[in-house]
A and B are shown apart, each in its own frame.
Chain A
Amino acid sequence: MPPYSGKVLWVDLTAQVIEEQHIPDEIYTQFLGGIGLGAWMLYRHIPAMADPLGPDNILGFLPGLLTGTPTLYTGRWMAVGKSPLTSTWGEANCGGYLSIAIKQCGYDGIFIKGISPTAVYLLIGPQGPQLLNASDLWGLDTYQTEDILIDRHTVKKKPAVACIGQAGENCSLIAGISHDHGRMAARSGLGAVMGSKKLKAIVFCGAKRVDSVDPCRMKELSRKTQKFTQITLPIPAWSPPWLGLVMRNPWISIRLDGIISNTVLKKWGSAGYNQFLNEWDDSPFKNWTGSHHDFPMSHSRAFSAKQVMEDEVSKYHCLACPTGCGGIYKNPDGQSHSHKPEYETFQSFGGFLLNEDYPSVVRINDLLNRAGMDSISAGACVAAAIEWYTEGLIDCETAAGLELTWGNTIAIIEMVRQMIERRGFGANFSDGLKAAAERLGLERHTGVIESGGQELAMHDLRLDSGLAVHASVEPNPGRHTTGSSLYYDFYRLWKVMPELPKPSLFERKKKARIPNYQLGIRCVANSNFTNFYNTLGVCFYGACLGADRLFFFDQVNAACGWHHSAEHYMQVGQRVQTLKQLFNLKQGIDPVSIRPSKRALGLLPLKKGGNRGVMVNLDSLRHFYWQAIGWDHKFGIPTPETVNALGLGPLAMELELPAMILNKHTAWQIEMQSQEGLEVTQ
């Protein structure tokens, strides 16, 4: 039996109706599972121009195709929906152990539509799925909610819970969905979608076994992967900043290997990158106006690899992960525990705000995890607020007494609290940076750092032009895990598909920044591979070990009894990417309009640091990406030839492009409608 059940659960909260839907085998062949199944569902079922916080939006919870099988790194689950933050395709990816719990209930996905008149939670237990009253849970934080529900519904097996905190209940557009005390599907604001539906939580109580066609072959491949995961390089705790300094040299970029990355993650978690990325100038500082000069090693030492281990009580492994980059942390109060902050959180509330106070970041991390709010977006909001306050664009009265200066931890913590509780000055920022700028009349200010409405993460687009491309062209824009030149190096796709370009070990930095078709090819390979592994439920950090060491193409074949090539599965990734882009077009999104902020692209060049003077030529880079993926190279609209070659023709034929886009590209729809008799599953 293959590792999918062939059915999903639909919950209509308005009608309070729950029903199962059977999914034909050919859908799994075309879209696999996870994000692919989500794209297929949402494209067809969310009407054009739907209100993201209205009843028409659909919130999906999806495990990966390989989740629950004997494969390593396949423990991620995904939330999907139309993002209220960007109005585009929205997805968020999370670890913990929820993914297998969804499958153990017998479903390949849970899809929620409508709006409940009162607060409810969904219980999927032995009695079947049912909606239960959540009025006693409304107002509780994510930890309390989860503890109560686990206690209430444990019979013999401990259930898994996904829930929202106060941020989601308040429909904060930067709210996430929490699992296992603060593992967060944080981005795209999907916690707000859950809150808008008055759905407090989902409790999964299943215990079904997940099958696979050839488990022996899968284990054989997993043991091969394990050999690579066990390699631990002798990297001492003092070395990351010095390695970063080497990487910062102005002449040569050095190709990194996933074994190095995996070693850092195993030893210190993503927080082990803190000083490495600071010194490399991969981390932005001072709301993208600074460099490592503003936060030198003597300051960043507060977040060193050695320091971040001091409060770690134990390692934390997400499901199926041999690396274990997570950690359980002792909070500053010395009693309670929380998840170890990730690099993104350390940087968002550390160097980015010129904050050297390590305990304050741990405290903020815990606050945000309990409230269910995205720490990257929250950090970006605080940074902009500080910049505006210090520039005098916000006066003391508007800031309601908050002395928002760089590194002022008291003001930073208070502002985070206000954002969570949607009160005071912080309430302006509860819906993200773009909304805050509009509320404060600062929407044209260069300090609004986002792409398509999504606050950018803590990786500098000026350092890696591939990152800038993905922040713009992806259907879920402004994200750091969708692709970059660095990730292309990590993925080692050229090892399994020799036709893809192999990057040299050393490359001149100036040359690497020149837009060219090869860069477009690499970025498209990133997108396709990312979508592919997100259909399987694979962790991004796991994928960084390299395609040739993970054997995921073979694993899918062994799990499903198929015999497809790597190229076939990369085409699945392209199919998913293209369908997500069609989703955006259906929702009236003009791909050309999605651009990272000028400051992030270096159009207001830095005067100091490793990225001084660097400007990203986004238009040329996008042109090559769109050309390489088979979308219109000027408008980013998938061409009819590509749509049909991917088997998406009948789906796209229903699509009516909004007038705004149609004016630019009238021929597209005419040509699309002329395509008939295509063999595709609809």
Chain B
Amino acid sequence: MSHTITGTCQGCTACLKVCPTQAIRGERKVIHVIDSARCIDCGACGRICAFTAVLDQHAQSCTHARRAEWLKPCFDLKLCTACGLCIQACPVSCLELNQSLKMDKTLYPNLSRADDCLACGFCVDICPVDAVRMASPNN
């Protein structure tokens, strides 16, 4: 089951704008609907909804947070193998291989477009060697 929108939705379109796969439909001030075939369960709609109108894939109510407070991925480059799985898992391509640290010309991942990050944690889930973790942007 994908994310769903409940009757407390105010039709503010915030979720519609943040959704990376255009899975949400709805007019302004009308309850929005999530197309389960397109939904990838990134959870961005739930985080951005100020009316806690979104249920996650387990039918639990999502917690709202100001976008500036959303967690961001941090990379432990000592563990990172530069395998690029995190780059490709990201639904908004906000990561890039452009950090060069060593003499061997290897490029490592970097959050190059932090404002676009959805805090979905796909990069954390897919990393084979646990080199990515989510952290507060203020730390």
Write the residues of chain A forming the contact surface with B, with a CB cutoff of 8 angstroms.
Answer: 68-72, 75, 97, 100-101, 104, 126, 154-158, 207-210, 215, 218-219, 222-223, 226, 229, 267, 312-315, 317-322, 324, 327
Contacts and interface: CB of A to CB of B under 8 A. Distances in A.
A224 to B, nearest CB: 10
Contacts of A156: 20, 91-93, 116
B79 to A, nearest CB: 8
Most buried by A among B40, B100, B128: B128
B74 to A, nearest CB: 17
Contacts of B27: none
Nearest to B91: A207
Contacts of B89: 68, 100, 209
A226 B85 CA distance: 15
A222 B130 CA distance: 10
Given A207-B91, A226-B81, A322-B83, A70 B128 contact: yes
A319 B83 contact: yes
Given A156-B20, A315-B104, A315-B107, 14 more contacts: A100-B89, A101-B88, A156-B93, A157-B90, A207-B21, A207-B40, A210-B126, A219-B128, A226-B81, A267-B104, A314-B100, A315-B106, A320-B85, A321-B83
B interface: dominant SS: loop
Contacts of B84: 75, 97, 317-321
A154 B42 CA distance: 19
A208 B88 contact: no
Most buried by B among A101, A156, A219, A317: A156
A7 to B, nearest CB: 12
Contact of B128 (A72, A100, A157, A327): A72
Contact of B82 (A101, A158, A313, A322): A322
Contact of A226 (B21, B106, B107, B129): B129
Contact of B130 (A100, A223, A321): A223
Contacts of A215: 125
B108 to A, nearest CB: 10
A314 B83 contact: no
B105 interface: yes
Interface in B71-123: 81-85, 87-93, 97, 100, 104-107, 116, 122
B105 A313 contact: yes
B104 A70 contact: no
Q: Which 4 residue pairs of A and B lie closest in terms of their CB atoms, listed nearest first?
A: A322-B81, A222-B128, A207-B91, A70-B128
Contacts of A69: 126
A209 B41 contact: yes
A126 B21 contact: yes
A319 B88 contact: yes
A477 to B, nearest CB: 33
Interface of B: 20-23, 38, 40-42, 81-85, 87-93, 97, 100, 104-107, 116, 122, 125-130
Contact of B22 (A72, A126, A226, A312): A126
Nearest to B41: A209
Most buried by B among A229, A312, A314: A314
A319 B85 CA distance: 6
A393 B131 CA distance: 61
B83 A320 contact: yes
23 contacts: A70-B125, A70-B126, A72-B81, A75-B84, A101-B88, A126-B38, A155-B22, A157-B91, A157-B92, A209-B89, A209-B122, A215-B125, A219-B128, A222-B128, A223-B130, A315-B104, A315-B105, A315-B106, A318-B84, A319-B83, A321-B83, A322-B82, A324-B82
A interface: dominant SS: loop
A101 B84 CA distance: 13
Contacts of B42: 207
A669 to B, nearest CB: 46
B82 A315 contact: yes
A405 to B, nearest CB: 37
Contacts of A218: 128
Contacts of A70: 85, 125-128
Most buried by A among B83, B87, B116: B83
Given A101-B88, A313-B105, A324-B106, A158 B93 contact: yes
A68 B20 CA distance: 19
Contacts of A101: 88
B10 to A, nearest CB: 24
A312 B88 contact: no
B128 A226 contact: yes
A254 B91 CA distance: 48
A345 B130 CA distance: 36
Contact of B88 (A72, A97, A155): A97
Contacts of A157: 20, 90-93
B40 to A, nearest CB: 5
A182 to B, nearest CB: 17
Contacts of B93: 154, 156-158
Contacts of B130: 219, 223
Nearest to B118: A156
Contacts of A155: 22
Given A158-B93, A207-B21, A324-B106, A68 B83 contact: no
Nearest to B100: A314
B89 to A, nearest CB: 7
A248 to B, nearest CB: 30
